[in-house]
Amino acid sequence: MSLQYDMMGRANHRYKIDNTILTGVNIMTKTQKIEAEKIYEITIGKNVTSVKVLKVERRVNGQLVYDCENLKTNKRMTVSDASRFRREIKAEKPVKAEKAERTKTERLDGKVSGLTAAYIVLKDAGEPLNIRQIMERINERGLANLAGKTPGSTVSAAMQRECKNKQSDSRFEKTGKGLFAAR
């Protein structure tokens, strides 16, 4: 690809494909036929959008006119200049199926998550505890199987995130620096 400038100083891209030089943004060659019921990318001013060609008509003067539908706005439009068509869009992206609603399942080992274990400990304590005390009580009672180098930091971060994201609906309340209580 080479870059040239016109008299107004605007950049003009030149593409060389199979020894055919295509100037500007028009990437479609003259030999490619624009067909009905296909989706193309076209230029509208400086913008690029996708359209579906509904039908191709030939006017009395011999000019081809394309009746299109803009896929973004669903409005009909008539394109009389074939050089506005940039390329054919071969296949649409498949539509993703809606995700099924997540349901909580019981763990096979009978343990609960670190966050739920912290809530149980704080609810039973009835007073604010720091993360070290919470983790000691979780380990004493064997409520959760927390593997890793710093399970206390993980549970603390999860409690802070729940306080921040759920605010008044959170199960936890931050009562002081490093202190948490159950609501």
Q: Does residue 62 form part of some domain?
A: yes
User: What domain range is 34 assigned to?
Assistant: 2-88
Question: Which range has the worst mean pLDDT, 23-32, 98-107, 116-125, 142-151?
Answer: 23-32
Instruction: Please name the residue ranges forming H helices in 14-141.
Output: 114-125, 131-141
- Residue 93 pLDDT greater than 60, yes or no: no
Q: Does residue 49 form part of some domain?
A: yes
Report the run of H or E that residue 162 belongs to, with start and end: helix 151-166
Is 120 within 8 Å of 143 (Cβ atoms)? yes
What pLDDT does 129 receive?
93
Q: Residue 68: count other Cβ atoms within 10 Å of its Cβ.
A: 26
Q: Does residue 71 form part of some domain?
A: yes
Q: Does residue 106 form part of some domain?
A: no
Q: Does residue 97 form part of some domain?
A: no
Express each pLDDT in 50-69 by its tens digit.
999 999 988 888 888 999 99
**Cα(49)–Cα(90) distance, integer angstroms:** 15
Question: Which range has the worst mean pLDDT, 7-16, 138-147, 167-176?
Answer: 7-16
Give yes or no: residues 9 and 62 share one domain: yes
Q: Does residue 109 form part of some domain?
A: no
**Cα(82)–Cα(74) distance, integer angstroms:** 20
For residue 25, give the nearest of 47, 57, 50 by alpha carbon.
47
pTM: 0.44
Average pLDDT on 146-155 reads 88
What pLDDT does 69 receive?
93
Express each pLDDT in 71-87 by its tens digit.
888 999 999 888 888 88
pLDDT band at residue 1 using 50, 70 and 90 as cut-offs? very low
Express each pLDDT in 10-48 by its tens digit.
555 444 444 444 444 445 555 568 888 889 999 888 889
Is 13 within 8 Å of 22 (Cβ atoms)? no
What pLDDT does 18 receive?
43
Angle at 92 between CA 91 and CA 93, to 5 degrees: 120
What pLDDT does 92 receive?
55
Domain count, the chain: 2
Q: Does residue 133 form part of some domain?
A: yes
Give yes or no: residues 136 and 77 share one domain: no
Give yes or no: residues 140 and 65 share one domain: no
Express each pLDDT in 109-132 by its tens digit.
667 888 889 999 999 998 999 999
Q: Does residue 94 form part of some domain?
A: no
**Residue of higher predicted confidence among 104 and 22:** 104
Is beta strand 76-79 parallel, antiparallel or unpaired with respect to 179-182?
A: unpaired
